[in-house]
Chains A and B, each alone.
Chain A
Amino acid sequence: AQSVTQPDIHITVSEGASLELRCNYSYGATPYLFWYVQSPGQGLQLLLKYFSGDTLVQGIKGFEAEFKRSQSSFNLRKPSVHWSDAAEYFCAVAPTSGTYKYIFGTGTRLKVLA
């Protein structure tokens, strides 16, 4: 079955520290890959996406993600976290053809310590 796993429910980091959020997927073929961020009480905002090509993808707010086909992973990174990055982060996949039904992970809630 197709699925997306975000193994960390909560992560706490200090402001200025580096961040890595994990995402693994199970899919028949390489899907489109996405990371979204959700601030409290808000909708989701796209951080970055991978369709093809360079496996290191740059996004907004200083985030990047690396697609590793051999590990079926698409981990999100940021070299220096800001207090405003505190939010919930969702990884998602979508097929490259056909139904365009997205599958989301269960999310990772990031807390940033001052």
Chain B
Amino acid sequence: DAGITQSPRHKVTETGTPVTLRCHQTENHRYMYWYRQDPGHGLRLIHYSYGVKDTDKGEVSDGYSVSRSKTEDFLLTLESATSSQTSVYFCATLAGPTDTQYFGPGTRLTVL
């Protein structure tokens, strides 16, 4: 693995509350990604980052925002959680284009 940790690992929250998920890496990889995994949909990209303060949207970015103020940390925020955001969230990192994308252990989020 590439020293990727995600916190929290599990979270239950209520509709309308803000939620922040954290991804931390120790390998100084340039690229970082947030995906959500849902049955029948595989992994879908939410946002990704190609450097500090440099981020871009993925295919399912509505309702999510991200921030990357340090190379090692990539935060995913649900401004006002909805039940449709109940999912397993994976962070991933990539050193460079021809390198291997490494995945974190995932965060299971339940929005009631």
Contact = CB atoms under 8 A, between A and B. Distances in A.
A100 B31 contact: yes
Interface stretch (B14-22, B38-46, B66-74, B76-84): B38-46
Contacts of A42: 105-106
B78 to A, nearest CB: 21
B58 interface: yes
Contact of A106 (B41, B56, B94, B97): B41
Contacts, number: 54
B104 A51 contact: no
A99 B56 contact: yes
Interface string B6-50: 000000000000000000000000010101000011111100101
Contact of B42 (A94, A101, A104): A104
Contact of A101 (B40, B58, B98): B58
Contacts of A92: 43
A10 B76 CA distance: 32
Interface residues of A, number: 26
A97 interface: yes
Contacts of B43: 44, 90, 92, 104
Given A101-B58, A105-B42, A107-B42, A44 B100 contact: no
Contacts of B103: 36, 43-45
Contacts of B94: 100
Contacts of A6: 42
Nearest to B6: A43
Given A43-B106, A101-B48, A101-B58, A106 B100 contact: no
B110 interface: no
A96 interface: yes
13 contacts: A34-B101, A36-B103, A43-B105, A43-B106, A44-B103, A45-B103, A92-B43, A99-B56, A102-B101, A103-B45, A104-B44, A105-B42, A106-B40
Given A99-B50, A100-B50, A102-B33, 5 more contacts: A100-B48, A100-B94, A102-B45, A103-B45, A106-B41
